[in-house]
Amino acid sequence: MALTVQQLKQLYPNYATETDVILYNNFENLRILEQCINVVRLTCQNARIQRFDIQQNFEYLKELYISKSSIQNIDIYADLHVLHVTNCSLSVFDFATRYYNLMVLNISGNDLSLVTAKNILNSLVNLRELTANYCNLVDLSIFLDIAGNNQFLLLNKIDLSYNEPISLQGIQQCNNLTKMDVCHCGLRNLNYISETLSLQSLTACYNQLSDISMIGTLINLECLDLSFNYNLGSIASLLPLAKVTHLSFNQISAPSLNGVQNMFELVNLSAFTNLFTHVDELINATKLKNVNLSLSQIYNVSGLQNAKNIETLELNSNQLRSFVGMPQYSKLHTFLAHGNNHLKNCIGLGNQPYLQQLNLSKVESLEGIENLHALTSAQFNCNKLKSIQQLIHCTYIQELHVQSNELISLNGIQNLFNLTVIKADHNKLTSIAEISKLTMLKELVLNNNNIRSLDGIQKILSLQSLELGNNKISNLMHLQHLNQLNFLNLDKNNLSDIRQLLFLKEKQSLKTVWLAECQQLSVEGANKICQLPDFIQYVIQILPQIVSYCYESDYDRGGRYYSSVITAEERSLGKQLVISELTEQNLRELKEQ
């Protein structure tokens, strides 16, 4: 029996309204919809239907979305404006002669290699957008007469990505195309595309382009992405493109930026992994806001001296030698320059008054950042820092990363009261008294240091995640009042008695504890208790609220470790041993085991 929308709403309250119906999974008979005459948008996913052939006039239906079904044809009486038939078995295109007002068509994920239909776009005279990804297309004959003289006045967006290889012969007939995506199409040149003179946006990444000499005809281009065309070694042909605002040519091994000199409107430039050594060609790009020139050979950025509007600048893994002479950018808020092997310090960075995010590595000193008062995120990993004293005036910092350095203390952070995250693992710290006033701290990572005392941490009542793995900690008394902890890593420490963990039982927010390779952990002399096969039972026994753990067998061959979720079986076995506290009798029993 057919159902009304009201009945659908009762049966499927989350999927049916007066104008919008969604059908999920296992529907076989579409008669359920025959009285839903007011529906405007219909979605059908994972339905076991081969034909969409309701003989009912859906007067108000404008949008139809079908995906992941066996549908081969669409035969529904409606004035559709939007039709998505994706990841189906579409093989018949009768609908192309019926839906004259169709404006958006998406047929991605249908194998169209054996479809006999031709030139269907001639019928869809109002079509504005066409998407046909992953369709095994070899040419465009299904859509148009590739040798004819068709005129498609309204089609302005087309996405043919992931049809490799494909011939684009005929695309030039779409005179009003403004946006084209042809990624992963095996293209070697832009011959046919170069005749679509109205194009404003072209994405042609991951192809085999070696010749873009014809691209200069696309004088209306504003957005261009030629990234990951490994055979393309030069962008000199871009010289006539004066309107480009967004340009990407990542990883094409271009020796220089020759080709961008006339891009006076350029706003976003992404050109990482190339071979150029300078950026002098950008001298006229005064409207630049976002620049990524990472993984190249750049040794100075003097060509950016007129780009006063830069907001984000990425120069990771280049050959920068100094920041001295770097122009002042009044809008620069993010500067990433890690992996520049020739940098020694930060002198020259102090004239960036609004810098909020800074990422540097391979430096030996933070000298020069004292005046960066607006910093909120600072990452100085993998340096040779022996001190972070220069941070003392950067009081707005919320997140600080100083991993893999040579720090023996955290002196300099005492007054950084806004800190919520500190990551200082792989250093030479012996104590952490400097954090005692950082009452907003939520995450603290101190693995792989030489810490013996946790004095100072007892005042950080806001702490939620604490990592202390591979230190020399033998006393946990300073953790007694950290009631918001939900994660605790105590791997590879000098804990000697499992009773030291008893106070954690009261911390109901604590869900994960790591105790790998605490070699001395025992119960009155029962050494290496953490290596016993049923160690997890002891963890559950002492800390019944714990839901995951880590111990020695959780290490993989690469030395990395991961936490294991406690299974229902383990939890059940553990409950048989749960006690309110470890009594002397229990301790004797554990010792005997």
* Residues whose CB falls within 8 Å of the CB of residue 236, separated by 6 or more in sequence, listed in order: 258, 259
**What pLDDT, on a 0 to 100 scale, did the predictor assign at position 556?**
38
- Asked whether the beta carbons of 387 and 367 are under 8 A apart, the reply is no
Question: For the chain, how big is the Rg over CA atoms in Å?
Answer: 32
Which tokens hold the place of 580?
């309110």
**What pLDDT, on a 0 to 100 scale, did the predictor assign at position 567?**
55
From its phi and psi, is residue 537 left (phi > 0), alpha (psi between -120 and 50) or beta? alpha
**What pLDDT, on a 0 to 100 scale, did the predictor assign at position 571?**
45
Between CA 374 and CA 264 the distance in angstroms is 30
Which tokens hold the place of 481?
């009042």
Burial of 585 (0-12, 13-18, 19+ CB in 10 A): exposed
pLDDT (tens, 9 = 90+) of the chain, 593 residues, equals 344 555 555 655 554 555 566 666 556 666 666 666 677 888 888 777 777 766 666 778 899 898 888 888 887 778 899 999 999 988 888 888 888 899 999 999 999 988 888 888 888 889 999 999 999 999 998 988 877 766 667 899 999 999 999 999 989 888 899 999 999 999 999 989 998 999 999 999 999 999 999 999 999 999 999 999 999 999 999 999 999 999 999 999 889 999 999 999 999 999 999 999 999 999 999 999 999 999 999 998 889 999 999 999 999 999 999 998 888 999 999 999 999 878 899 999 988 989 999 999 989 999 999 999 999 999 999 999 999 999 999 999 999 999 999 999 999 999 999 999 999 999 999 999 999 999 999 999 999 999 999 999 999 999 999 999 999 999 999 999 999 999 999 888 988 877 777 788 888 888 888 877 776 766 554 445 555 545 555 565 666 666 655 544 443 333 333 344 555 554 444 433 332 233 444 444 544 54
Between CA 77 and CA 335 the distance in angstroms is 57
Beta-bridge partners for 180: 158, 202
Burial of 443 (0-12, 13-18, 19+ CB in 10 A): middle
Angle, in degrees to the nearest 10, between helices 535-542 and 568-575 = 70
- Asked whether the beta carbons of 364 and 380 are under 8 A apart, the reply is no
* Residues whose CB falls within 8 Å of the CB of residue 10, separated by 6 or more in sequence, listed in order: none
**What pLDDT, on a 0 to 100 scale, did the predictor assign at position 22?**
64
Angle in degrees, CA 440, 442, 446, rounded to 5: 115
Bridge-based pairing of strands 377-379 and 357-360 is parallel
How many Cβ atoms from other residues are within 10 Å of residue 469's Cβ?
A: 22
**Chain centre to alpha carbon of residue 3:** 43
